[in-house]
Each structure stands twice: as structure tokens, then as C-alpha cells.
Amino acid sequence: MALVALVTVALALAAGLASGGIGGHVLAGLQRGLCRVAAVRCPAPERPRDQLPPCPVERTATGEALEGSVEVLKLGRGRTLTTVRMSDGTVQATLAENGTLGGEIGFGFSVALGRRYGASATVGIHAGFAAGRSWTLPNAAAARTFVERYGAKATVGGKAVDVVRSGCSILCDAIGWRPHAVLPPADAISFDRSSTTQLGASLGPVGVEVMQSRTLGVQRLRDGSSTWFVALDDAAGAALLPTAQLGIGAGGERVLAYTRDAQRRPVSLTLESVVDGAASGALGVTRGRVAADASGALGQLTELEAKLDLRDTRNLAAATAFMAALRDPFAVARLQRSTAALVRRISSAGVVTRRTYAVSSSAFAVGARLVLGAQLGGGFERTRESMRLISAETRLPGLPFLPRDDCRSS
């Protein structure tokens, strides 16, 4: 016990000298092991002040959207307010506006398998866009004040008020009507474009749906730096029972992000993989041509993020070769070689972080259809998604995965 106490004191002194970063994480791991052997309570870990960014601890997104359809053409617009609480106490708030344009076609028939069942299939193709502004707030209290002041802009009603206000700018200025406070300058702005393909089929009470989405976007920070990203998103789900639906789903997303500083010099290349699995339930009511439904889902989501510092010349060479191979769709062998070289650089010199979240979501939608020579329709949907960090660990170059004590939710 005396030896353990002596080593613990030595580690505490060394941790004070290391002050976070690689040394701090190594010492924190050793200290945890010694505390378990000695059956004593470890002191609260210090947050690393360099090398590792804070973890997203909790994320909440709320949004409202309107959708209209004529025959098979669909058009939708919506706004979303997202808040992300970081492990260093700051909160990132993002107000985004999005739209979709697409079409859907389907057919159905009935078959007899002992008893008569109806069957259907649908194919949908949609194009979307999104534009967002983000602010970094110093603490949770400032974030609550921000949401109370500007949260109405993420609702359909707030959007309608903004449209009316923009249409009567001179008159409204004269009478002093300013329904919404003016947003402060954003710390970051983002734009993206996406395309989505959906395939669905049902036989009696059982339904299956598959979705593929591709997104290209950019985020620009106030300091002049920018991040370009490509996201590939796949999801599949199955539903049981025709009225009170129960279902399961699984999805995956791969993101490639390239960051440059204000002088357009390469900073980092990030590869991210997200695996999402959820169990869902829904309840729907239909009266004539009006339908309403409420749904929810629970599950876990795991993020694996690998970041390569492109200020290192060897890392930059591997990343440059990989991105050059991506531009040539016919150079399959070249892409395989450059991918293998990039993976080797990430394994030897990259920072890899693994995070697991508990996720939940809910949605309420109401819509109606009317046939007057052509089929007309419209709908309103309100959604809410929440993520809460369960665990986080980081692997630094030359070390195994170590728990991120600084990311523990307080």
C-alpha cells in the first residue's frame, strides 16, 4: 500500500507537469489502474488543454416542415434548430433551412396466400439543399437564452412571419414591426446539396424500405478556414402491423472531410463512420382523405472518427494521392493502392476517436389528399431528435484506445 501511494503521488506530480495531451491521458490511465488496486477513490480527471478537441456530449434537434404534392411531384421546406453541448461546457447552436424537390411513383396489387393480402411497391427520387448558420455559446445558460430569443425561427409559423416581414419591409419599418430579433453574426455558415433514392415494398402487414443518400457540402468559419465534405448515407428498415406499427431499422453513414486554413493550406483529413440501429413504433389514424401519425425510435449510435494532420508532409502525400484517385472513376487499382496507403498512415500517425450515444427520436405528422382532376396533397411534420454520450475513447499515435475522462457528462 505504501508503494502504491508513493507511485500515485509521483503520477500526480507528473500529471501536473504533463498538463493534458498525450502524457495526461497515459498518466490518467495508469492512475485509474492504481486506484482500482488500492481500492481508493481517484481524483477527478483534468480536461486536456491541448491536442484533443472536446467531445459532443449531448445533441438535440427540433424542426418543422411543410410538404406539398401534385400528382407524383413533391416539394417541401423546413427549418431545424440544433444544439450540441460540448464536454468543455460550450454549446454550439445551428439554425438550418432545408428544402426538397422530388417525385414518387408506386403500384399495387393483391394476392391470395391462404387469405387475401395487398401488396405495393414505391420508388422515390429526391433532391435537397440545406443552408445553416452556427454560433458557439460559452455555456448552457447562454444557449437557453439564445433558444428562447431565436427558437421561433425554426418553426413553420416563424418562417411565415419572416416571409410576411420581408414582403412589407418599408411599411413594417415605418410602423416599427419587428416580430423576431435580428440574429447575431454567425461563427460559421454551411451549404450542402443532396440526392436521395428510396425503395419501398409491402405485403399485407409487413413493409420494407431502403434508402440511399449522397451529400456534398462546405462549412466556412469566421476565421476564413473551410471544410469540404462528402457524406454517403444508407438506411434500411422493416415494419410490422398495418395500424400500430412496430419496426426495426439500421443505418450507416460515411463522411470524408477536408479542412483548409484561411490561406487555403491543408490542415486535416477526417474519415468518419457512423452506425445507427434503432427500434421504432408508430400509430396512425385516417379519416377520409386526412391522415395523422405519431412515431418514435430508440437505439444506439456509434461514431468512429479518424483524423490525419496534413501539416505533416508524409500525411499530406498520402491524402493527396487518395483524393487524386477519387477524381478518376476508372482508376480502380490506383484507388485501392492509395486507400491502403492512407489507412496505413492513419494507423501509424492518425488520431482515432470512438463515441457511443443513446439516441431517441419522435415525430408527428398530419396530411391530406384531394383529387380534382389531378391529385393534390399537403402535410405538416414536427420532429425531435436527441443524442446523449454514453462512452468515448481516443487512440493517439503509438498508443492503444484510452478512455476520454474529460468527456464524462457532468
- What mean pLDDT do residues 117-127 have? 76
Give the three cell numbers for residue 261: 486554413
For residue 78, give the C-alpha cell: 423546413
pLDDT score, position 17: 43
**Domain regions of the chain by residue span:** 1-50, 52-407
In total, the chain counts a number of residues equal to 410
- Contact by Cβ (8 Å): 339, 387: no
- List pLDDT tens digits, range 280-333: 666 666 666 677 777 777 788 899 999 999 999 999 999 999 888 888 877 788
Position with higher pLDDT, 400 vs 221: 221
C-alpha to C-alpha distance for 93 and 135, rounded to whole angstroms: 5
| 100-104, 124-128, 197-201, 345-349: least confidently modelled range | 100-104
Instruction: Report the predicted TM-score, pTM, of the whole model to 2 decimal places.
Output: 0.78
Smallest CA-to-CA distance from 56 within 97, 95, 94, 15 is with: 94
376-401: b or e for each residue (b if 16 or more CB lie within 10 Å)? ebbbbbbbebebebeebbbbbeeeee
Rg (C-alpha) for the chain, rounded Å, is: 25
CB 402 within 8 A of CB 33: no
User: Please, which pLDDT band fits residue 239 given cuts at 50, 70 and 90?
Assistant: low
For the ranges 140-144, 232-236, 368-372, the lowest mean pLDDT is seen at 368-372
Could you tell me whether strands 206-221 and 188-203 are parallel, antiparallel, or unpaired per DSSP bridges? antiparallel
Distance CA 308, CA 317 (A): 11
Q: State pLDDT tens for residues 11-29.
A: 554 444 444 444 555 556 6
pLDDT attached to residue 373: 52
* pLDDT-based confidence at residue 138 (cuts at 50, 70, 90): very high
Question: How many other CB atoms are there within 10 angstroms of residue 98's CB atom?
Answer: 18
Share of the chain above pLDDT 90, in %: 28
pLDDT band for position 129 (cuts 50, 70, 90): confident
Grade residue 235 by pLDDT with cuts at 50, 70 and 90: confident
Tell me, what's the pLDDT at 292? 73
User: Maximum CA pair distance of the chain?
Assistant: 89
8 A C-beta contact, residue 14 and residue 31: no
* Strands 244-260 vs 290-309: parallel, antiparallel or unpaired: unpaired
Per-residue pLDDT tens over the stretch 74-112: 677 788 889 999 988 899 999 988 887 777 666 555 555
- pLDDT of the residue at 16: 47
Q: Which cell numbers hold the place of 326?
A: 477519387
Measured in degrees and rounded to the nearest 5, phi and psi for residue 164 equal -65, -40
Q: What is the mean pLDDT of residues 50-72?
A: 77
Give the residue carrying C-alpha cell 416580430.
179
**In this structure, are residues 283 and 261 in contact, taking their beta carbons and an 8 Å threshold?**
no
